Amino acid sequence: MIRSMTGYGEAERDSPAGRLRLEVKTVNHRFFNSSIKTPSGFDKYEAQLTAALKRHISRGHVSAYLSIDRGSVETETPFKPDLVRARAYLEALEALRHELNVPGAVQLSMLANEPSLLRLQQADRTEGIEPELLTELAEAAAAAVTELRTAEGQRLAADFVERLRVILEVLVRIEARAPQRLAEQRDRLREQVRELTEQVEVDEDRLAREIAYLAERWDINEELVRFRSHVELFAEALEGDASEPVGKRLGFLVQEMNREANTIASKANDADIAQGAMGLKEEIERIREQVENVE
């Protein structure tokens, strides 16, 4: 079983400060990379949220957005009067009125015109929220992401199985064709020698040595054996229990399969084998593109 790196999940929890909601999205990335956005005052929980998400998600770019709906939760006024400064300001105005003999009394409107007498209250918006609640919220959202990534992984696995089936069919055709091309080349050489020597009897020993030399140069048996081994290991990884990420392992096997396909193509010296090698590379490329999305 494999998991995709593309997923989405969300979770909600009630808190004394309001209803918390965490949305998590994941996309391809070689390693675990996170971006956490939180409301003002919640930034102190970002490391905690990241750690909780990482316990469920090992690879991929993770974007998490925390929001809070305060609903009917009562909030205090954000402004507080600076009484010490206000008293001093009032005394200063009274002194001016007295010294300058200004009629009338000091009004509240005069004090209100001085912005420094009211200071913005920086309330703790996280008051009453236990850290464990944030961890629980992240765990629930990550579990939803994992469920979706697993479902997508199953679809990817089905596609991989079909690609591997096609690859094995091509390998069978190449294996069947490989000895035939040697026999055809032997007959072709014998005919060319006859034409050049004007029907003189062909030196079969010399011809056998030449064929043996070509057989060694064109031998692709080792490449085919290794190719089949890579395919088997790839299939085994698909059937794992998903307890560990396999994306990097699959990526390595794809590279090795492509290496063997290139070698087979370079040793082909035959249109059918060359065409088969091209077909292998096309299927490998399709697999490679999908493997980039596997955790």
Check if the beta carbon of residue 284 is closer than 8 Å to that of residue 240.
no
pTM of the model: 0.70
Residue closest to 179 by CA, chosen among 220, 237, 121? 220
pLDDT in the model for residue 5? 93
Residue type, 109: S
Q: Is a pLDDT exceeding 70 seen at residue 181?
A: yes
Mean pLDDT across the chain: 85
pLDDT band of 210, cuts 50, 70, 90: low
Most confident of 117-131, 176-190, 238-252: 238-252
Q: How confident is the model at residue 244 (pLDDT cuts 50, 70, 90)?
A: confident
Burial of 100 (0-12, 13-18, 19+ CB in 10 A): exposed
Angle at 154 between CA 227 and CA 235, to 5 degrees: 20
Which amino acid, one-letter code, is at 23?
E
Show the tokens assigned to 279: 């077909």
Q: Give the residue extent of every domain in the chain.
A: 7-73+129-147, 79-120, 153-291
> Which of these, 288, 237, 232, 293, lies nearest to 259 by C-alpha position?
288
- Please state which of the ranges 20-24, 108-112, 144-148 shows the lowest mean pLDDT: 108-112
Confidence band (pLDDT; 50, 70, 90) for 76?
low
The architecture CATH gives domain 7-73+129-147: 2-Layer Sandwich (3.30)
CA 250 to chain centre: 14
- Closest by CA to 9, choosing from 44, 45, 60, is 60
Mean pLDDT of 75-92: 74
Cα Rg of the chain (Å, integer): 38
Sequence-ordered alpha helix ranges (H) in the chain: 46-54, 83-99, 108-112, 131-196, 204-218, 221-238, 247-266, 271-291
Half-sphere exposure of 203 (CA within 13 A, CB side): 6
pLDDT for 16: 84
Residue 55, token pair as written in the block:
């316990």
Percentage above 70 pLDDT, the chain: 83
**Measured distance CA(206)–CA(204) in Å, rounded:** 5
- Gap between the terminal Cα atoms of the chain: 11
